[in-house]
Structure 1
């Protein structure tokens, strides 16, 4: 389990509040996810907003299987919420730094689903941009406060899960904005859709590399981003709308964002002193 190192000897009243808030945040997120999945007779996310959030809603939407990554992220967040609630984690300095940022990301995650169900497409854009910013804050905090002695569980449930969440939402933000623009842009813009999509993916490559560089070449964000980009390529080759240029660019960008952190991570396994 988590290491007990970097733990203050004195718990504060705010520590218990933090633990309860994290558990409440994950509960809210899961309830929103169940409703968003179409339970209780509700419309599933991909069918909401007039189908704008479906895989065919824009040129930058990934294929359906890409969204299975949410299962991994949700399971990781559930496990984190349970582990951080353990009594020995109450006064942990690491948890004091990470609990609030992660709680914010879980609340915004759930709010996005609420916005998709009851709000407007533009509101989903606003919420997902806020979620991306919160995840950037959380992941940066995780990197800065990382304890090499914290153990595998600490690394996976904090750095790993937050990194996957950040990487996936980076691409999801692009897809969400693209879906919104598709509904408001003049039909004539579709003639330039492939070119615009390629330019946007180049920007995604820059962002992906920037995240990797600023995090010391952590691999989790790159894995999620490459996963989404790969399924984006599949959708543009086999689904609608079709776009071979976007598909090829997505594959290239996936390799660009994944290879550097993967190589560095491999070197760290061979030579643990590499950082």
Structure 2
């Protein structure tokens, strides 16, 4: 029996996607190890003259915040294994996400290497590109509901944490690059800038919570980063009570919005299912 050429081509494309995702994970993990100094690289907090350390700017989260990367990397490993399952090879959801997730992992490694090299302006471009790619992934995975709880955790949960943390990290990265470049803030007090940025982060977080029907992983990651900015500005130099309060308020607003939207969404879904069963 002859296999249609289109079917054979689709199978090859699926395999290429799976392989590309796996290779991208390897690059990402190796890059992360360089970033923590395992392979002789300088830890991110010490690279680029300490520009991205926990006490570099008002928008820098305290050191414990970065432990979220362990969860994200674990999720990416799980995602890579998940997409190799026979049931996922031709899954339309995975076909739309695989290449995008792979690109995000390559950009992650590129960001680490750019910081290691001390190229802060380049690191800003890379992390902005990473954020854009993760937004594309977000738009794609919310367009189709996960078929199971494991898929919701491995795919939606991982990518939600990834995007949420990147949303906070991009602000810290830009602030660090501007400070290193000697940006004076046009004479405005640093707190004015930090609070303005935090208001924007809160607004974006609330909008994403609404768009994503209250996906908690994404909101939790944003709130996590903001909460550690609160801790950093309360306990570490440079201290700033206004920034700490604004960050705490932003974290509460984003997480609260996600919980409210999620609750309403689940209630509405339950009503629909109840009506169908009658």
| Aligned position for 2:239 | 242
CA RMSD of aligned residues (A): 2.1
Quick check: 1:232 aligned with 2:239? Answer: no
Give the deviation of 1:32 after TM superposition: 0.2
- Greater alpha carbon shift after TM alignment, 110-119 vs 77-86: 110-119
Q: Does 1:215 align with 2:212?
A: yes
Deviation at 1:264, TM superposition (A): 3.1
1:101 aligns with 2:105: no
Give deviations 1:32-77, integer Å, cap 9, x for gaps. 0001111133211110000001011111000000011111110001
Q: Does 1:118 align with 2:113?
A: no
Tell me if the contact between 1:9 and 1:91 (Cα under 8 Å) persists in the aligned partners: no
| Unaligned residue ranges in structure 1 (runs of 5+) | 1-7
- Structure with greater Cα Rg: 2
Contact 2:44 2:112 in 1 (8 A): yes
Alpha-carbon shift at residue 162 of structure 1 (Å) = 0.6
In the TM superposition, structure 1's runs of 4+ consecutive aligned residues that sit over 3 Å from their partners are 8-11, 186-191, 266-272
Work out the number of aligned pairs and report it: 266
Label 1:274 to 1:263 Cα distance change in 2 as closer, same or farther (>3 A).
farther
Correspondence 1:1-275 to 2 at 5 A: 12-147=11-146, 150-186=147-183, 192-267=189-264, 272-273=269-270
TM-score (norm 1): 0.91
**Residues 21 and 248 (structure 1), Cα distance of their counterparts in 2 relative to 1, 3 Å cut:** same
CA contact (8 A) 1:10 1:91 kept: no
Distance 1:208 1:38, change over 3 A: same
Deviates more, 1:67-76 or 1:34-43: 34-43
224-233 vs 95-104, greater mean Cα deviation: 95-104
